[in-house]
Amino acid sequence: MKRSIFVLAATLASVTALGCDGPQLTEPRSSGSIAPTLSAVPLVSQPQSVLDQSFTFPANLSGAINECCAFVGQTYTAGVTGTLAGISIEVVSSSAFPLHVAIRSVAGGLPTSAILGDVTLSSSSTALSQLIVFPQAIPQVAGVQYAIIVNYPGAPPAGGGQGQGSWGGATGNAYPRGDLVISFNGGVSWIAESADFDLHFKTFISQPLLAIAIDIKPGGFPNTINPESHGVVPVAILTTDTFDATTVDPATVRFGPTGTEALAAHFALEDVDGDGDRDMIFHFKTQDTSIGCRDTSASLTGHTVAGQLLKGSDSLKPVGCR
């Protein structure tokens, strides 16, 4: 008899999670240098970890691991190209056996036998707040599917009552770029019972980050900004020997204390610094930038049209603050 993988969410909620002593989530954040002056901006590539795929809500079912089948997985489609920095999943367990997590390649919507990387956790459970990292460098290509697969090595053979853990998820195809997959034969062949079922996960991808030269209030210094102003702040991305500002995709550009805040109200290509090459000048509404009286620098982030991540920072001096 084929046993169902599903357990009710209520059952999941009643299971007490073990203490989490796995690796802690390192919040993806910029490692780009904050350069107080333009001349100090280094034009180097640095890795940047970004959240890529994420399915964490709603929650109304979970997949039992080692109940119907020893191997349970979720496929996903990478959104950006880079190296997998880690994943997060939501497995509740009181099992004595540690959880094994693998990334496999996918063909025709189902996992293949090719294991791209794997790791055995120190615990049987793991949470979405924990980052699971792999010792292998796992390439991720935008638009390509991969699978996160778990099992409990050493646990008794899968079967009724042998469930070792529950992976939270939801019905309704809330994640359309992949599906819950299960294997009844130890991970050799796979089925996706329905596109409707998806399990909670996040993927983080490491991309090279190119530091660029920006100039808040081009030509002027110090870069005074009145946080109460209802005007605009001009910011230039400068073309240098190693970077062509005309390659920036202006729709991806954000500016503010963390570089994620304001979209540009206006942009144009012009030779801002008078050195003979075209730079890209943006105007951001001051109120959109969230710049406050305690900020002493601001950053601009974005992508080139080819997808290269960019970040630049410049100093600022708040004025009009009481």
Query: Which residues of this chain interact with Ca ion, rule CB under 5 A?
Result: 173, 175, 179, 195, 198, 215, 217, 220-221, 223, 271, 273, 275, 277, 279
Report, in Å, the least distance between residue 275 CB and Ca ion: 4
Nearer to Ca ion by Cβ, of 101 and 281: the residue is: 281
Can you list the alpha helix ranges (DSSP code H) found in 194-314?
286-289
Report, in Å, the least distance between residue 22 CB and Ca ion: 26
Nearer to Ca ion by Cβ, of 52 and 198: the residue is: 198
Can you list the alpha helix ranges (DSSP code H) found in 9-53?
9-14
Nearer to Ca ion by Cβ, of 158 and 235: the residue is: 235
Nearer to Ca ion by Cβ, of 96 and 191: the residue is: 191
HSE-up of 199 (CA within 13 Å, CB side)?
30
Report, in Å, the least distance between residue 219 CB and Ca ion: 6
Report, in Å, the least distance between residue 26 CB and Ca ion: 28
Report, in Å, the least distance between residue 181 CB and Ca ion: 10
Can you list the alpha helix ranges (DSSP code H) found in the chain?
9-14, 286-289
Report, in Å, the least distance between residue 99 CB and Ca ion: 22
127 exposure class (CB count in 10 Å sphere: 0-12, 13-18, 19+): middle
Rounded Cα distance between 203 and 145, Å, is 12
Tally of CB atoms within 10 A around 187: 20
Cα 228 to Cα 198, 223, 291: the distances in Å are: 46, 15, 9
Nearer to Ca ion by Cβ, of 54 and 173: the residue is: 173
Nearer to Ca ion by Cβ, of 156 and 220: the residue is: 220
Provide, for the chain, the percentages of residues in helix, strand and coil under a 3-state DSSP scheme, each rounded to the nearest 5.
5, 45, 50
Rounded Cα distance between 5 and 166, Å, is 9
